[in-house]
Amino acid sequence: MSIKIYYRVTEFNSVMALTNETIKERLKAKFTDQVSNFEEPYGLLTFEVPKDLNLKVMQFLFDDEELRFKFLTDLCAVHYPGQEGREIAVVYHLHNLTDNIRLRFKVFTPIAQPDVFTATQLYSTANWMERETFDFYGVNFVGHPNLKRILNVDEMTYFPLRKEYPLEDQTRIDKDDAMFGRGPGGVVSPIDVKVGPSVAGQAGPLNTADHGGPTSQDTRAGQGGDEVKPQ
Amino acid sequence: MSVEQHIKLPEGSIEKTTTTLNLGPTHPATHGVFQNILELDGERIVSAEQTVGYIHRAFEKLAERRPLYQITTLTDRLNYCSSPINNMGWHLTCEKLLGVKTPKRVDYLRVIIMELARISDHLICNSVVGVDSGAFTGFLYVMQYRELIYEIYEEVCGSRLTTNMGRIGGFERNFTNAAFEKLEKFMAEYPAVLREFENLFTRNRIFMERTIGAGPIAAERALNYGFTGPNLRAAGVDYDVRVHSPYSSYEDFQFEIPVGSTGDCYDRFLVRNGEMWQSLKIIEQAYRKVQEFKGAEAEIYHADAPSYYLPEKKDVYTKMEALIWHFKIVMGETEIPPGEVYQSVEGGNGEVGYYLISDGGRTPYRLHFRRPCFIYYQAYSELTKGSMLSDAIITMSSLNLIAGEMDA
């Protein structure tokens, strides 16, 4: 059987061809000042795009004869709680295989309404990447064919990788806190976590009614506030 | 007799002409925990819906709570069949962020370990494709040499599977003579075994008829789905991170990239097989290069980066500077520059990427793993649409789906 190589990408011309400068100029020519914050951390061209233009920028980078960014390496999100109106950044890593050059661009969106256009029409790989981003950060990808949780359980009501949530799942009622070194007054810092009606009524380290010990075994929803006398 | 219906049937289930089959999370043919709900028309697959996340361990959230040197243990458990590659990829990411330059001997030792891991991963995949098509013997022939690879890991770092190997800047100890002896034994004996394994499968009529034409993918679709690694190379695209963005001195080595044409299971098998031969070639070259270091140079196994590389324990107990460095590193008081870095390595399944954002603190602000298995498993429904159930099983095993890497 003859081996035919369909895409010989290893013959990329690493000497001249496309540089970060060229890409930056082409982008600035096409999108003027809407693309901003150009940086090159560790040699990788990074810039920011307003969230309504993410598809236009990606389509331009994909279709252009010189730019040819036809590979979406990665799509993820980052949460910056301090930045008002720009809390969630969706980061796209693109790769031009033929010229062997990568770039990264970011789209900022407010956490109150984190809508970003989906990239699935252009890159099929964005399907699960966006589902994962939705699962972790709650970014709503407008136009996604199947936007539901992928790695966490479907019943989860919150987006765990946001910075306000601690590492440990606070909604667990099956854990015996005494076994984890938490007693009355607990090591767990009291965080005002609103995680759904099923938990609000239960005794636990976050509800002051609990005085530690195995009382979580006999709590029922809606019965929070029972006084448990310490022994 | 009146028939009381105790079971509430779903809507339209009596009129439905397809069968729903749950290729459930626990199944002998799914190598890992992931689920497929197949709609079958007789034996042909009409659609496949995947469910992943059974082994999701929240690595990305965990990584935000751990200093850089503690994240290595998380990376082991991504693709656990070739965990040293993930470890080295993480160390390279940290070194890129911190600006640590590793000496050549460290690079060559890392190359040896990474290529051994690649052989180990491909051995599992190829022999398991054999097992899934009914040929168990090949698996047993090669497992003995996989054991030898594990023994080499054990000599280097102490563990066999989840290796937690190396440090930022190099290795935790020099390779012992025993490690080199085992490596020589491997290099001497393994080629014959691989040839025997090839003889069992490559021109085996039954194997070829099982795998040729099963789960093919066109090169454009593969690129659009973000395929990397052997699965992409089987489709005809010669993209290899070791050549495109060389790391750890891969540019010093001569090797070829085996490429297929149709992207079906047979091509994937052949590509992985060819890569094992290339890995052997690289290991031999690297071993020769390592042997060329003499005297004091042969004792170098880490970079000179006292801010990030833990000093020797005996120095910590006797020398003041070492004690101070040890304290600073462990308590997280060394300079971690803020910034963001993306580093990728060629893992057993493709481009394993680490996107690390540091805010200057001892733990990452954000760490995201680009996991090739997760990315290419999306294409499974497209790969198996219209094929028979047995082809779907073979496709699943030839894709080399590792649940740890899928879920992180």
* Per-position DSSP letters for B27-49, written without gaps between them: -TTSSSS-EEEEEEETTEEEEEE
Asked whether B156 and B171 are in contact (CB, 8 A), the reply is yes
Q: From the CA of B247, how many Å to the nearest CA of chain A?
A: 14
Same domain, yes or no, for A33 and A127? yes
Q: What is the CA radius of gyration of chain B?
A: 23
> What's residue A226's pLDDT?
41
B342 contacts on A by Cβ (under 8 Å): 42, 44, 74, 93, 102, 104
Do the domain assignments include residue A156?
A: no
| Domain coordinates in residue numbering, chain B | 19-51, 59-407
Asked if the structure places residue A9 within a domain, the reply is no
A124 touches chain B (CB under 8 A): yes
Name the least confident of A72-81, B271-280, B307-316: B307-316
Same domain, A115 and A50: yes
Please give the pLDDT value at position B203. Answer: 95
Q: Residue B26 is encoded by which pair of tokens?
A: 């626990």
From A88, A107, A142, the end of a domain falls on A142
Asked if residue A96 and residue A131 are part of one domain, the reply reads: yes
Q: How far apart are CA B335 and CA B340, in angstroms?
A: 15
**Do B219 and A167 lie within an 8 Å CB cutoff?**
no
- pLDDT exceeds 90 at position B186: yes
Query: Model-level pTM?
Result: 0.88
Residues A130 and A175 in one domain: no
Asked whether residue A51 falls in the same domain as residue A126, the answer is yes
- The parent domain of residue A66 ranges over 20-142
Identify whether A155 is part of a domain: no
Q: What are phi and psi of B397, to 5 degrees?
A: -80, -25
* Environment class of B123 (CB within 10 Å of its CB; exposed 0-12, middle 13-18, buried 19+): buried
Q: How many domains does chain A have?
A: 2
Q: Is the pLDDT of residue B32 over 90?
A: no
Residues 6+ apart with CB under 8 A from B283: B111, B112, B115, B116, B183, B187
The verdict on A105 and A27 lying in the same domain is: yes
CATH number at residue A65: 3.30.460.80
Residues A28 and A124 in one domain: yes
Report ipTM for this prediction: 0.92
Interface of B with A in 145-204 (CB under 8 A): none
Interface of B with A in 373-392 (CB under 8 A): 374-375, 377-379
pLDDT of residue A198: 40
B291 close to B240: Cβ distance less than 8 angstroms: no
Question: Is residue A173 located within the same domain as residue A136?
Answer: no
Co-location of A215 and A137 in the same domain = no
Inside any domain, residue A79:
yes
Q: With 70 as the cut, is the pLDDT of residue A3 above it?
A: no
Helix (H, G, I), strand (E, B), or coil: what is residue A38? strand
| More confident call, B14 vs A157 | A157
Residue A80 sits in the same domain as residue A191: no
Measure CA of the first residue to CA of the last residue in chain B; give whole Å. 55
Fold (topology level) of B59-407 = Cytochrome-c3 Hydrogenase; chain B (1.10.645)
Residue A157: inside a domain: no
Inform me whether the C-beta atom of residue A82 falls under 8 Å from chain B C-beta atoms.
no
pLDDT in tens, A147-167: 999 999 998 999 999 999 988
pLDDT at A49: 95
Looking at residue A7, its pLDDT comes to: 61
Residues A104 and A170 in one domain: no
| One domain, residues A106 and A28 | yes
